[in-house]
Amino acid sequence: MVASAPAPHEIKWENMNYNQLVTRGRRIALLAIFVVVFFIFLTPTAFVRYINDALSGMEIDKYIEGIFTTYLPTLLLLIYQGVILYHSIIFIVKQEKRVNVAMEIVSRLTKYLIFMAIYVFLLQALGMQTVVQVSTGGWDGWRTLFPNKIAETGLFFTIFMIHQALIQNGLALLQPGLIIISKIKWKLAKTPHEKIKALDSPDFDFAYETAVTLNSFLILLSYSIAYPLILIIGLIYFFIRFMTQKYLILCTFYVNKSSTGSAIPKAYLYSILTYIFIFQLFTGLIFTINKNYPIQIVGGVLIIIAFVVYLIFLWKLPIIMKFVRKIIKKFEKIEGRKLDNFEHGEVLYIHPVEKKEKETGEADVVLLDTLASKTQNINTSNENNS
């Protein structure tokens, strides 16, 4: 199969000298370690249990204990998602030695989505008791347990969405970690060039941010029927997140607008289709536990239709993408311009530094001029000393 080569700036040149056969074996081994560690030993439930065991030896007031019981599990899940899982997957994907930036992003996105869909959502929603009931064939016990579990997890995920809306978005907006690290690098810098590099904007992490957004979208869709209160919190969360992410992309992080990684949009579409299928499956399960027989039939039919439509979309997705591109090109010919909603346009997105260059016609080289003048002074003084 012949595929177009990536652009030179999208190649991970530092990984080109590795043996590809050894690299594939490394990926399989890392995937096995990832599954064993995060799906068996270090699950969110185990993480919460470790913290509870650490706090159980302390004498805590009952009021504070009640607050911990209500809010601590969701806070720990948020920390687990944003700290432990985030940095672990960054390390694992870095060790995979991918030679393409786009494939590296897809690898991270896939791992985030698989883990979040299973552990942050499914096992929190269903619970291990429900899984045990299904595996042992206890249908009647499962029908009794599942509605109660939905009511409990509906409140759990509502609190989780509140924490994401306020705490996660607030920390993302303030970026305390980035500020602290930049200040430390600035203090430790020995040369003017190092000081300038200390203030460089890091790349925007599309893989993690997309996974978090899709996972929140899945939670909101799945509980919109069984626990409608979550809709209000979810809408507030997505509004705050949209404004926060827009600010981060335009003002804080660096975004490579010249990326041509065709695998990334496909991965996004596959992820969205999979999450919509999980939502339909979850809704169908809610209908099947109803005691009304016609509603049970509707739930079963919904599950079958969702499964068939999902397979058709996965099978025909490349054809669908080509069809959408043709429609976009036709609209572009009619309008005589590119559609900003589908591609990065100069009007839609301009980096603040680029915007200044575009308006003034001069590059923003104040720091570079300072660096050049200091370097020239150093060279002059060295020549005089010699």
pLDDT at 60: 62
What is the distance between the alpha carbons of residues 254 and 178, in angstroms, rounded to a whole number? 13
Most confident of 19-23, 69-73, 292-296, 348-352: 292-296
Check pLDDT > 70 for residue 332.
no
Q: Which residue has the higher pLDDT, 193 or 248?
A: 248
Q: Which residue has the higher pLDDT, 190 or 129?
A: 190
Check pLDDT > 90 for residue 302.
no
Mean pLDDT of the chain: 73
Closest CA to 123 of 55, 162, 114: 114
Q: Which residue has the higher pLDDT, 367 or 77?
A: 77
pLDDT at 133: 56
What is the distance between the alpha carbons of residues 146 and 165, in angstroms, rounded to a whole number? 27
Q: Which residue has the higher pLDDT, 335 or 114?
A: 114
Report the phi/psi class of residue 290: left, alpha or beta, with left for phi > 0 and alpha for psi in -120 to 50: beta
Closest CA to 224 of 157, 136, 167, 164: 157
What's the average model confidence in pLDDT over 93-109? 79
| pLDDT > 70: percent of the chain | 64
pLDDT at 238: 93
Check pLDDT > 90 for residue 220.
no
Beta-bridge partner residues of 254: 203
pLDDT at 348: 43
What's the average model confidence in pLDDT over 269-297? 79
For 28, the enclosing helix (H) or strand (E) is: helix 20-36
Residue pair 202/178 in contact by the 8 Å Cβ criterion: yes
Confidence of residue 383 (pLDDT cuts 50, 70, 90): low
